[in-house]
């Protein structure tokens, strides 16, 4: 074997993922139960399993995880807005944009993390079996124009406040939730603070504290000429 072949073989061995039979078997059970409703998945060997399901199967997925898989422990439920900030450098520092004349940065394409995604908003939750410490992080896309999904409150009681916070901060409606009211914000508050397009007006009124002002050295002048 040549040295080049040996190097390629070693590189392939390093890059090849380690098998994770337990999580592969768990993923197979989700696929067997939910069929085409499983629209994406990812296994990080020895660490975690992500399963993305169709929005219409969100509640059924929770019921399957708890009733059939023994995942009685509810860890968390939240959401994510994958939209890159439309404010660019303006959100980093209004003063930096004005004083230094920086052009707004070009926004990167939207990326939706492990197990993929087709929409701007996703709901995600993690549950696991306390007896085996085997868990799963579940995801579902929600439509951008009318974000909504079924509640988990009748399956996992602990989802109650998590869904209220997610509704309050992202504007995602949890259909069937018994008491979808504010946790943190005043009732008359307008907008959803954790959406990427929610303007943080405080950064426009007061300079962002991370700015470092550059001052001329003693003995010099602002134009950069020689001191007299």
pLDDT at residue 114 in the model: 94
pLDDT at residue 15 in the model: 62
**Which is nearest to 50 in space by CA: 39, 34, 64?**
39
pLDDT at residue 226 in the model: 43
pLDDT at residue 219 in the model: 65
Residues 77 and 162 sit within 8 Å (Cβ to Cβ): yes
Residue 99: φ, ψ to 5°: -70, -45
From first to last of the 228 residues of the chain, give the pLDDT tens digit.
Answer: 444 454 445 555 456 667 899 999 999 999 999 999 999 999 999 999 999 999 999 999 999 999 999 999 999 999 999 988 766 544 454 444 554 555 656 667 888 899 999 999 999 999 999 999 899 999 999 999 989 999 999 999 999 999 999 999 999 999 999 999 999 888 888 888 899 877 766 555 555 555 555 556 666 555 444 444
pLDDT at residue 4 in the model: 44
Residues 158 and 173 sit within 8 Å (Cβ to Cβ): no
Residues 63 and 171 sit within 8 Å (Cβ to Cβ): no
Segment 169-184, tens digit of pLDDT: 999 999 999 999 999 8
Q: Give the SS3 label for residue 94.
A: helix
> Whole-model pTM?
0.75
For residue 64 the two structure tokens come to 């399957």
Dihedral angle, C-alpha 161, 163, 167, 168, nearest 10 °: 20
Helix H, strand E, coil C: the string for 13-54 is HHHCCCCCHHHHHHHHHHHHHHHHHEEEEEEECCCEEEEEEC
* Domains of the chain, CATH where assigned: 18-82+115-191 (3.30.460.80)
184 vs 227: CA distance, rounded Å: 58
pLDDT at residue 80 in the model: 96
């Amino acid at each position: 074997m040549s040295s080049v072949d040996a190097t390629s073989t070693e590189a392939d061995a390093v890059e090849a993922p380690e098998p994770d039979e337990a999580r592969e078997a768990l993923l197979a059970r989700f696929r067997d139960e939910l069929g085409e409703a499983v629209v994406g998945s990812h296994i990080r060997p020895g660490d975690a399993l992500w399963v993305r399901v169709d929005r219409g199967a969100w509640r059924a997925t929770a019921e399957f995880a708890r009733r059939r898989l023994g995942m009685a422990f509810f860890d968390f439920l939240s959401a994510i807005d994958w939209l890159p900030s439309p404010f660019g450098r303006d959100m980093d520092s209004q003063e930096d944009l004005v004083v230094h004349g920086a052009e707004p940065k070009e926004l990167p394409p939207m990326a939706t993390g492990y197990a993929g995604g087709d929409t701007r908003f996703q709901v995600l939750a993690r549950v696991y079996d306390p007896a085996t410490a085997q868990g799963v992080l579940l995801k579902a896309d929600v439509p951008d124009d009318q974000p909504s999904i079924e509640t988990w409150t009748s399956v996992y009681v602990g989802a109650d406040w998590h869904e209220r916070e997610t509704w309050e901060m992202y504007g995602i409606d949890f259909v069937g939730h018994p008491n979808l009211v504010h946790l943190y914000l005043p009732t008359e508050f307008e907008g959803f603070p954790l959406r990427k397009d929610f303007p943080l007006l405080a950064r426009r009124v007061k300079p962002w504290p991370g700015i470092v002002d550059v001052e001329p050295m003693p003995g010099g002048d602002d134009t950069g000429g020689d001191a007299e």
